[in-house]
């Protein structure tokens, strides 16, 4: 393989991977930024998305239905969880959230196992994107191009949502000063419910999109949550742009690191995280030091 | 204090009343209790929330396992050496991690523990990589002491270490040093401005915490005969943290109870149902909602009422 | 799995024996069940494999009990979840031994669980008959007297692939393995075998367990210019690789070979697995009377043919059964002697548990994944088989002499 | 030689100069106030003296020894004890424990990891003495977080005092107090300073307080010192009046 097609292929690989990491990280970072909650169950919502996506696609025969239904259901469950349980805990310290979301991880994981069983399930790539394109004679799956594109679209969408909509404004304001927003007569609880639901929905969206690459399986959650943490930590907790930056950075380090130093594939991500934290304890774009 | 003495006596006579398998569980519960208590020094007394305490346990477990497999060191010395190594490594780790505070500190500890996990996965000659170290013996000695090779003997070794560590921690948190830790917990900036080199105190408490956590790990590997990368995994760090919180942080004995509760509950549930995780999770959520002060808080509230 | 009544009954039996009625209580003693420990991973990433192994054990126990039990005693399985965690496995078995008095175990899923467990077998005075554990060392450097392997080992699977390669026109090979003891061992065996067959082994790369993005590994395989790639992947990693390899059309240029082909991963990856060639520890289509009876009974019970881990675990149960019958006891010393050199006519035909390293000598099969009319998923089809003496390694070894 | 000497002390944040070449001499036993309008650089000056932020230029000398290279806790160990503009206490500890922990910082065995009766005993004696001098003995057993705001401000002074400092630095001790609380606090502080044994550097907003307590006044404006003299002279200074006092006159 010549250098040019090699570089192009690897960069596109990295971008498609960055998109998946971004979906995973951005929800977690939004939730943290607004609610100061480390949502342990984030990976489980990602997994839930993949399984619901699988079933919806099977029932309706369309991947796209799964892509819509998965995040909606996961988001609704997340919102219900926030309303039912988390809302009673805001006066308590952070450890309460850690425990309650840890509990949710176990419960949700087991429910998924009871519903879908232990075997991995395959979600087919949608027909439109099942083909390949040739980059200087090297085949490249169009689905990966779609992933990278979806990453850009979602990133722009979230950015516009935060900048342009009233809810987005409230979310940004709440992350600055929840009491002030409350004093202005806004129902802060509603903002929190919305953001928790949106965060979980984004994780599920990532899950549905990742399923054709990795299959829907019970191992997804554990892997995903640590990736999500790494993205959020490197990017800076609560920073939307940070998570985008971190996702791209981690994806490139992984793709090129794995190529040149395969023995360090596992350690690379953690070394990067350590390096970033030592230089900037709050993460790349984080506010806290 | 009287309750502690009573508990110690009950634990000391436990081997005479409990069946074999219960002793196995109890031994492991005490080892985890020691680990959770060591973390309480950081979390409960200094508000240094570590997401990487598995590193201490894993370091201790691997070191004592390695020493017992590859050297002729007697068991108690191997365990002590492992504990000392964990404490020494912690000084370096803490030196870096204390550059940050709050959630960033937590994240740095997580990063370190995961890096150690990755190293354990690659350093085959020492850690056995994915296989871990198996067949770790409980070597006799020194002076021909064979007591620790028996099940009950080993239990007493664990109990001795736990009680010793408890007495040590109790004295530590009530000492002038402990008063400074409490100051750091409540208001670190003020403590610094009073003229305390808070970073040094934090490094010291992390080192002590790791040495005791390492002691727990060092006791675990000869007990199970086994050590692997799961002991270093972030999930385990999270579980230990939860044991501390469930038990009641900042009490020392609370986390010991929390660890025993966590382990025994998981074990008992998994005996009765394959869906143990479901009930385990529900019980946790129930705990947070209805018993925010932890098991110890729940117990003392009952007593007071 | 223990209930009050059970404990009560046991206590009464002990009381009866203590009172000197032991000889009179013959029928009661005969009804005392033979307990077999099943410390199996039911949750976690290995849960799928564990579910198969448990199913096979339950099927076997039901079959045995329907025919009046073993040594006239019913078989009782004590099943506990290990979640695939070696530390939990050791604790679980220890408890089975101490609480239930168990002296025989089987159905541990992962090799690292088995490697953690075997050093303790002597202390527990317990026999462990493996039904899945593939690590070559279990019957070589890590062999202990109380361990027996009735299943096909990793090196044996690789060997079968290598034997098939000798007759293939492909020359250049590359390897992708899980960064795991099993991955490295099997890759070593493959490299040695490939060289012996006059093939060119161009090197291998290892991916950490839990790898989700295989694009870089696929790039590396493609760049190597090899005609065949040998895969030593399992579980989620295997599924992810196959799905992504298909998306990159890797199969168009490179023949994918793998140490083991099972239906479960084929189901998970669908058409992505088509064309895959690899060894199978147990293909259900084997044509012999024992297997035909087994498949028919299985089909009647579960409405589908048995999968690889089900067949191999069932064979282990049959070996264990024959051993217990021959020994007339489950006492470790007697059972060990009985198992050594034991010959059984199994679902894979006649097999022998050889005495020197406790590895069951058995044939190896090469299958290719194909699409069949009327089947929802692609299925493996046997394209070659090799006799036991060519597939089983020399005693206490993981590599082959010829 | 003055006890505390500032020499051309400067702090720049990017383009902004918060403290601009401040030179000042504080003699032993002197009560000195630093005043100035908002943003004059008073609190920044405090941070520079106590080492919370590093100086861009200039030097701080204490008993002739340069403190520039010492970090904040080391400067405190050298004998500079301070209070904060926003009350900073240990809210869950009692007032007595607050003072004890503060006093402990000056004892040689403050870090002792076992026992400690001797350390605690000595620290308690010093702490209780400080509480007594600020009239807080009655509330000594209450958690600091539950004290009235006025008592909290005084407790912080007591904590600094318990360290038996060579120089006491008070950052707006009456900040946020009601008129009555301020009166009480000022009288308490005046009584405390009366013996002339303490050296005090005080940042204060409230002119009444300054003229009641201080023997010398340094006036800052936009980071620079514009006057430095006894209260009666400062009051008459034209530049000061223009910059600051005008509003009050």
Instruction: Find, in chain A, the residue whose alpha carbon is nearest to that of B49.
Output: A95
Q: Is the pLDDT of residue B59 over 90?
A: yes
Instruction: Find, in chain B, the residue whose alpha carbon is nearest to that of D120.
Output: B176
> Percent of chain A scored above 70 by pLDDT?
99
> Which chain B residues are within 8 Å of D92, Cβ to Cβ?
186
Q: Specify the higher pLDDT residue, D39 or D134.
A: D134
How close A222 comes to chain C (CA, Å)? 9
Q: Is the pLDDT of residue C75 over 90?
A: yes
Q: What is residue C301's predicted lDDT score, i.e. its pLDDT?
A: 93
What value of ipTM does the predicted structure carry? 0.84
Which residue among B172, B187, B198 places its CB closest to the CB of D88?
Answer: B187
Domains of chain B: 2-304 (1.10.3470)
Q: What is residue A287's predicted lDDT score, i.e. its pLDDT?
A: 67
Q: What is residue D246's predicted lDDT score, i.e. its pLDDT?
A: 54
For residue range B198-208, list pLDDT tens digits in order: 999 999 999 99
Domain extent at residue A213: 13-221
Q: SS3 for C278?
A: strand
B99: Cα separation from own chain's centroid: 24
Q: What is the DSSP letter of C347?
A: T
Of B45, B21, B22, B55, the residue nearest B240 (C-alpha): B55
Half-sphere exposure of B193 (CA within 13 A, CB side): 24
Q: What is residue B302's predicted lDDT score, i.e. its pLDDT?
A: 63
Instruction: Find, in chain A, the residue whose alpha carbon is nearest to that of B119.
Output: A267
Q: Is the pLDDT of residue B1 over 80?
A: no
Chains A and B touch (3+ CB pairs under 8 A): yes
Q: How far apart are CA D95 and CA D170, in angstroms?
A: 18
Mean pLDDT over residues B217-240, rounded?
Answer: 89
Interchain contact C120–B (C-beta under 8 A):
yes
pLDDT band at C186 (very low <50, low <70, confident <90, very high): confident
How close B150 comes to chain A (CA, Å)? 37
* Cβ atoms < 10 Å from Cβ of C167: 8
C106 backbone dihedrals φ, ψ, rounded to 5°: -155, 175
Interchain contact D70–B (C-beta under 8 A):
no
For residue range C379-390, list pLDDT tens digits in order: 888 999 999 999
Q: In what order do the strands lie in the sheet with C127-130?
A: C75-81, C34-40, C104-106, C127-130, C147-149
Of C182, C195, C279, C172, the residue nearest C234 (C-alpha): C182
> Percent of chain C scored above 70 by pLDDT?
92
Structure tokens at B249: 């942080």
Interchain contact C271–B (C-beta under 8 A):
no
For residue range A164-214, list pLDDT tens digits in order: 888 888 887 777 777 777 777 777 788 889 889 999 999 999 999 999 988
The mean-pLDDT minimum among A18-32, B240-254, C17-31 falls in: C17-31
Instruction: Find, in chain B, the residue whose alpha carbon is nearest to that of A112.
Output: B278
Task: With respect to residue A136, please indicate whether it lies within any of the assigned structural domains.
Answer: yes
Q: What is residue C18's predicted lDDT score, i.e. its pLDDT?
A: 38
8 Å CB contact of C44 and A17: no
Mean pLDDT over residues B286-301, rounded?
Answer: 78
pLDDT band at A289 (very low <50, low <70, confident <90, very high): very low
**Which of A211-220, C140-149, C160-169 is the most confident on average?**
C140-149
Which residue among A20, A120, A140 places its CB closest to the CB of C268?
Answer: A120
Q: What is residue A79's predicted lDDT score, i.e. its pLDDT?
A: 93
Task: With respect to residue A81, please indicate whether it lies within any of the assigned structural domains.
Answer: yes
> Which chain C residues are within 8 Å of A124, Cβ to Cβ?
270
Task: With respect to residue A89, please indicate whether it lies within any of the assigned structural domains.
Answer: yes
Of C109, C128, C117, C180, the residue nearest B134 (C-alpha): C117
Interchain contact C2–B (C-beta under 8 A):
yes
A94-116 and A42-60 helices, crossing angle to 10°: 30
Q: What is residue A282's predicted lDDT score, i.e. its pLDDT?
A: 79
Which residue among C43, C112, C119 places its CB closest to the CB of B135?
Answer: C119
**Cβ–Cβ pairs < 8 A, chains B and D:** 89
Q: What is the DSSP letter of C18?
A: I
Structure tokens at B106: 């937590």
Task: With respect to residue A151, please indicate whether it lies within any of the assigned structural domains.
Answer: yes
Q: Is it true that the peptide bond before B142 is cis, omega within 30 degrees of 0?
A: yes
Q: What is the DSSP letter of C74?
A: -
What's chain D's average pLDDT? 87
Structure tokens at B239: 């579980």
Q: Specify the higher pLDDT residue, D238 or A201.
A: A201
Residue at token pair 């070449």: D21
Cα four-point dihedral sign D129, D131, D133, D138: negative
**Which of A82-96, B267-281, C272-286 is the most confident on average?**
C272-286
Q: Is the pLDDT of residue C91 over 80?
A: yes
Pairing assessment for the beta strands C104-106 and C127-130 based on DSSP bridges: parallel
Mean pLDDT over residues D61-87, rounded?
Answer: 89
pLDDT band at C9 (very low <50, low <70, confident <90, very high): very low
For residue range B85-117, list pLDDT tens digits in order: 999 999 999 998 898 888 788 888 988 898 899
For residue range C27-41, list pLDDT tens digits in order: 444 568 999 999 999
Interchain contact A115–B (C-beta under 8 A):
no
Four-CA torsion A143, A144, A146, A152, nearest 10 degrees: 160
Task: With respect to residue A251, please indicate whether it lies within any of the assigned structural domains.
Answer: no
Q: Is the pLDDT of residue C127 over 60?
A: yes
Q: Is the pLDDT of residue D247 over 70?
A: no
How close B44 comes to chain D (CA, Å)? 14
Structure tokens at A261: 């130093």
Task: With respect to residue A233, please indicate whether it lies within any of the assigned structural domains.
Answer: no
CB B258 within 8 A of CB B213: no
Q: SS3 for C274?
A: coil
Q: Is the pLDDT of residue C23 over 70?
A: no
> Which chain A residues are within 8 Å of C267, Cβ to Cβ?
119, 122
Cα four-point dihedral sign C245, C246, C252, C256: positive
* Cα A39 to Cα A30, A179, A196, D217, distances in angstroms: 11, 22, 9, 54
Instruction: Find, in chain C, the residue whose alpha carbon is nearest to that of B122.
Output: C179
Of D30, D95, D50, D9, the residue nearest D230 (C-alpha): D30
What's chain A's average pLDDT? 87
Instruction: Find, in chain A, the residue whose alpha carbon is nearest to that of C218.
Output: A259
Which chains have 3+ CB pairs within 8 A of B?
Answer: A, C, D
| CB within 8 Å of D240: residues ≥ 6 apart | D219, D226, D227, D234
> Which chain A residues are within 8 Å of B117, Cβ to Cβ?
270
How would you class B36 by CB atoms within 10 Å of its CB: exposed for 0-12, middle for 13-18, buried for 19 or more? Answer: buried
Q: How far apart are CA D46 and CA D168, in angstroms?
A: 11
Q: Specify the higher pLDDT residue, B270 or A246.
A: A246
For residue range D158-186, list pLDDT tens digits in order: 999 999 998 999 988 888 888 888 888 88
Q: What is residue A44's predicted lDDT score, i.e. its pLDDT?
A: 94
Q: How far apart are CA C225 and CA C171, in angstroms?
A: 11
Domains of chain C: 33-152+287-361 (3.40.50.2300), 155-280+364-391 (3.40.50.2300)
Q: Is the pLDDT of residue B305 over 80?
A: no
Mean pLDDT over residues B210-218, rounded?
Answer: 96
What value does the CA radius of gyration of chain D take, rounded to a whole number of Å? 18
Q: How far apart are CA B80 and CA C53, in angstroms?
A: 42
Q: Specify the higher pLDDT residue, C358 or D35.
A: C358
> Which chain B residues are within 8 Å of A283, Cβ to Cβ?
104
Q: Is the pLDDT of residue A3 over 90?
A: no
pTM: 0.87
Q: Specify the higher pLDDT residue, A175 or D224.
A: D224
Q: Is the pLDDT of residue C2 over 60?
A: no
Q: Is the pLDDT of residue D2 over 70?
A: yes
Q: Is the pLDDT of residue A47 over 90?
A: yes
8 Å CB contact of A222 and B235: yes
Of D72, D55, D43, the residue nearest D6 (C-alpha): D55
What DSSP line would sit under chain D, residue for residue?
Answer: --SEEEEEEEEEETTEEEEEEEEEEE-TT-EEEEE-STTSSHHHHHHHHHTSS--SEEEEEETTEE-TTS-HHHHHHHTEEE--SS----TTSBHHHHHHHHHHTTSTTTT--S--HHHHHHHHHHHHHHHHHTT-GGGTTSBGGGS-HHHHHHHHHHHHHHT--SEEEEE-TTTT--HHHHHHHHHHHHHHHTTS---EEEE-S-HHHHHHH-SEEEEEETTEEEEEE-HHHHHH-HHHHHHTGGGT-
Mean pLDDT over residues B153-181, rounded?
Answer: 94
Q: Specify the higher pLDDT residue, B144 or B152.
A: B152
What DSSP line would sit under C126-174, residue for residue?
Answer: -EEEESS---GGGGTTT--TTEEE-S--HHHHHHHHHHHHHTSS--EEE
Q: How far apart are CA A213 and CA A126, in angstroms?
A: 12
8 Å CB contact of C236 and A16: no
Q: Is the pLDDT of residue A30 over 50?
A: yes
What DSSP line would sit under B122-183, residue for residue?
Answer: H-HHHH-GGG-EE-------STT--GGGSHHHHHHHHHHHHHHHHHHHHHHHHSHHHHHHHH
> What is the total count of domains within chain A?
1
Q: Is the pLDDT of residue C269 over 90?
A: no
H-helix or E-strand containing A29? helix A3-35
CB C92 within 8 A of CB C82: yes
Q: What is residue A1's predicted lDDT score, i.e. its pLDDT?
A: 64
| Residue from A47, A265, A271 whose CB has the most chain C CBs within 10 Å, to mutate | A265
Which stretches of chain A sit within 8 Å of chain C by CB?
Answer: 1, 6, 9-10, 13, 16-17, 20, 113, 118-122, 124-125, 132, 138-141, 143-144, 210, 212-215, 217-220, 222-223, 254-255, 258-259, 262-263, 265-266
Chains D and C touch (3+ CB pairs under 8 A): no
H-helix or E-strand containing C105? strand C104-106
For residue range C207-260, list pLDDT tens digits in order: 888 888 899 999 999 888 899 999 988 888 888 898 898 888 888 889 999 988
Q: What is the DSSP letter of C24?
A: T
Q: Is the pLDDT of residue A80 over 90?
A: yes
* Cα C362 to Cα B200, C150, C286, C393, distances in angstroms: 64, 9, 13, 11
Q: SS3 for C336?
A: helix
8 Å CB contact of A258 and C268: no
* Cα C88 to Cα B255, C113, C233, distances in angstroms: 21, 9, 24
């Amino acid at each position: 393989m010549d250098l040019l097609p090699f570089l192009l292929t690897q960069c596109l690989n990295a971008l498609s991977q960055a998109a998946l990491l971004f979906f995973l990280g951005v929800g977690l970072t939004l939730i943290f930024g607004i609610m100061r909650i480390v949502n342990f169950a984030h990976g489980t919502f990602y997994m839930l998305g993949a399984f619901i996506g699988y079933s919806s696609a099977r029932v309706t025969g369309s991947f796209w239905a799964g892509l819509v239904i998965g995040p909606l259901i996961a988001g609704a469950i997340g919102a219900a969880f926030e309303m039912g349980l988390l809302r009673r805990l805001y006066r308590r310290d952070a450890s309460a959230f850690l425990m309650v979301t840890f509990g949710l991880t176990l419960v949700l994981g087991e429910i998924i196992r009871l519903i879908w069983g232990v075997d991995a399930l395959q979600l087919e790539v949608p027909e439109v994107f099942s083909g390949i394109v040739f980059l200087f004679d090297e085949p490249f799956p169009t689905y990966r191009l779609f992933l990278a594109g979806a990453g850009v679209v979602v990133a722009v969408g979230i950015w516009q949502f935060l900048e342009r909509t009233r809810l987005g404004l409230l979310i940004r304001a709440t992350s600055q000063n929840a009491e002030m927003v409350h004093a202005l007569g806004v129902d802060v609880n509603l903002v929190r419910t919305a953001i928790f639901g949106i965060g979980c929905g984004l994780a599920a969206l990532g899950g549905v999109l990742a399923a054709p690459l990795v299959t829907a399986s019970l191992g997804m959650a554990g892997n995903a949550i640590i990736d999500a943490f790494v993205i959020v930590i490197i990017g800076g907790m609560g920073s939307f742009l940070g998570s985008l930056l971190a996702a791209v950075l981690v994806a490139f380090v992984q793709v090129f690191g794995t190529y040149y130093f395969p023995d360090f594939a596992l350690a690379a991500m953690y070394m990067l995280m350590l390096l970033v934290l030592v230089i900037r304890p709050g993460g790349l774009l984080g506010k806290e030091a | 204090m009287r309750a502690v003495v009573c508990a110690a006596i009950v634990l000391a006579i436990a081997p005479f009343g409990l069946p074999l398998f219960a002793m196995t569980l109890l031994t492991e519960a005490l080892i985890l209790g020691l680990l959770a208590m060591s973390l309480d020094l950081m979390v409960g007394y200094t508000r240094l929330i570590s997401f990487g305490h598995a590193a201490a346990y894993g370091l201790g477990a691997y070191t004592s396992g390695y020493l017992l497999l590859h050297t002729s060191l007697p068991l108690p010395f191997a365990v002590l050496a492992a504990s000392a190594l964990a404490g020494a490594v912690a000084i370096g780790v803490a030196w870096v991690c204390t550059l940050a505070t709050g959630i960033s500190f937590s994240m740095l500890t997580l990063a370190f523990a995961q890096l150690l996990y990755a190293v354990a996965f690659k350093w085959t000659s020492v850690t056995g990589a994915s296989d871990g170290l198996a067949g770790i013996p409980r070597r006799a000695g020194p002076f021909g002491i064979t007591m620790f090779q028996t099940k009950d003997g080993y239990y007493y070794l664990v109990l001795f270490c736990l009680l010793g560590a408890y007495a040590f921690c109790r004295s530590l948190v009530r000492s002038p040093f402990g008063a400074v830790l409490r100051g750091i917990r409540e208001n670190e900036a003020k403590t610094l401005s009073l003229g305390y080199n808070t970073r040094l105190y934090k490094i010291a408490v992390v080192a002590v915490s790791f040495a005791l956590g390492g002691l727990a790990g060092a006791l675990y590997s000869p007990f199970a005969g086994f050590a692997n990368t799961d002991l270093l995994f972030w999930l385990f760090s999270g579980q230990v943290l939860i044991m501390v919180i469930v038990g009641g942080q900042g009490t020392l004995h609370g986390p010991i109870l929390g660890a025993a509760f966590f382990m025994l509950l998981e074990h008992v549930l998994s005996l009765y149902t394959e869906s143990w995780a479901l009930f385990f999770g529900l019980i946790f959520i129930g705990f947070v909602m209805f018993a925010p002060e932890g098991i110890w808080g729940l117990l003392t509230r009952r007593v007071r009422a | 799995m223990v209930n009050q009544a059970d404990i009560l009954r046991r206590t009464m039996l002990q009381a009866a024996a203590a009172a000197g009625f032991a000889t009179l209580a013959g029928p009661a003693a005969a009804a005392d069940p033979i307990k077999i420990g099943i410390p199996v991973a039911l949750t976690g990433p290995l849960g799928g494999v564990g579910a198969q192994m448990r199913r096979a054990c339950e099927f076997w126990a039901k079959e045995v009990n329907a025919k009046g039990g073993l040594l006239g005693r019913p078989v009782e399985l004590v099943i506990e979840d290990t979640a695939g965690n070696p530390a939990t496995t050791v604790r679980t078995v220890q408890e089975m031994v101490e609480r239930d008095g168990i002296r025989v175990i089987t159905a541990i899923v992962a090799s690292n669980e088995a490697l953690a467990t075997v050093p303790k077998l002597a202390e527990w005075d317990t026999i462990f008959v493996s039904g899945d554990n593939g690590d070559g060392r279990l019957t070589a450097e890590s062999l202990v007297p109380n361990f027996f392997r009735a299943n096909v080992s990793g090196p044996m699977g690789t060997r079968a692939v290598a034997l098939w390669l000798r007759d293939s026109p492909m020359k250049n090979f590359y390897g992708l393995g899980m960064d795991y003891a099993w991955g490295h061992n099997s890759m070593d065996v493959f490299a040695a075998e490939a060289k012996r067959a006059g093939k060119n082994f161009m090197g291998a790369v290892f991916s950490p367990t839990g790898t989700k993005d295989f694009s870089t590994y696929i790039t590396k395989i493609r760049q190597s210019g090899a005609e065949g790639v040998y895969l030593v992947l399992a579980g989620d990693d295997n599924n992810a690789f196959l799905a992504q390899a298909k998306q990159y059309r890797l199969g168009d240029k490179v023949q994918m070979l793998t140490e083991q082909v099972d239906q479960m991963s084929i189901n998970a990856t669908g058409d992505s697995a088509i064309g895959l060639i690899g060894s199978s520890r147990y293909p259900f289509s084997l044509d012999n009377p024992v297997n035909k009876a087994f498949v028919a009974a299985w089909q009647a019970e579960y409405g589908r043919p048995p999968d690889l881990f089900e067949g191999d675990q069932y064979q282990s149960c049959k070996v264990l059964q024959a051993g217990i019958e021959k020994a007339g006891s489950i006492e470790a010393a007697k059972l060990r002697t009985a198992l050594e050199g034991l010959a059984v006519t199994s679902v894979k035909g006649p097999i022998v548990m050889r005495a020197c390293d406790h590895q069951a000598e058995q044939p190896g099969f090469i299958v290719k994944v194909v699409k069949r009319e009327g089947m929802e998923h692609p299925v493996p089809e046997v394209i070659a088989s090799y006799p036991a003496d060519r597939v089983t390694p020399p005693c206490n070894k993981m590599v082959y002499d010829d | 030689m003055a006890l505390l000497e500032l020499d051309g002390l400067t702090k720049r944040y990017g383009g902004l100069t918060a403290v601009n070449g401040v030179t000042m001499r504080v003699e032993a036993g002197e009560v000195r106030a630093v005043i100035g309008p908002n943003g004059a650089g008073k609190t920044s000056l405090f941070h520079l003296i106590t080492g919370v932020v590093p100086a861009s230029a200039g030097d701080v000398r204490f008993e002739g020894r340069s403190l520039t290279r010492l970090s904040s806790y080391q400067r405190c160990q050298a004998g500079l004890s301070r209070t904060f503009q926003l009350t900073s206490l240990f809210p869950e500890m009692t007032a007595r424990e607050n003072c004890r922990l503060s006093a402990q910082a000056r004892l040689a065995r403050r870090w002792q990891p076992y026992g400690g009766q001797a350390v605690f005993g000595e620290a308690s004696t010093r702490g209780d003495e400080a509480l007594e001098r600020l009239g807080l003995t009655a509330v000594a057993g209450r958690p600091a977080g539950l004290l009235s705001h006025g008592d909290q401000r005084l407790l912080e002074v007591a904590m600094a005092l318990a360290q038996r400092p060579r120089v006491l630095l008070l950052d707006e001790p009456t900040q946020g107090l009601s008129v009555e609380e301020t009166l009480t606090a000022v009288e308490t502080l005046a009584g405390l300073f009366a013996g002339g044994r303490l050296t005090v550097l005080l940042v204060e907003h409230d002119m009444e307080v300054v003229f009641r307590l201080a023997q010398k006044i340094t006036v800052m404006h936009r980071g620079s010192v514009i006057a430095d003299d006894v209260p009666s002279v400062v009051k008459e200074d034209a530049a000061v009046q223009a910059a600051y006092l005008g509003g009050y006159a």
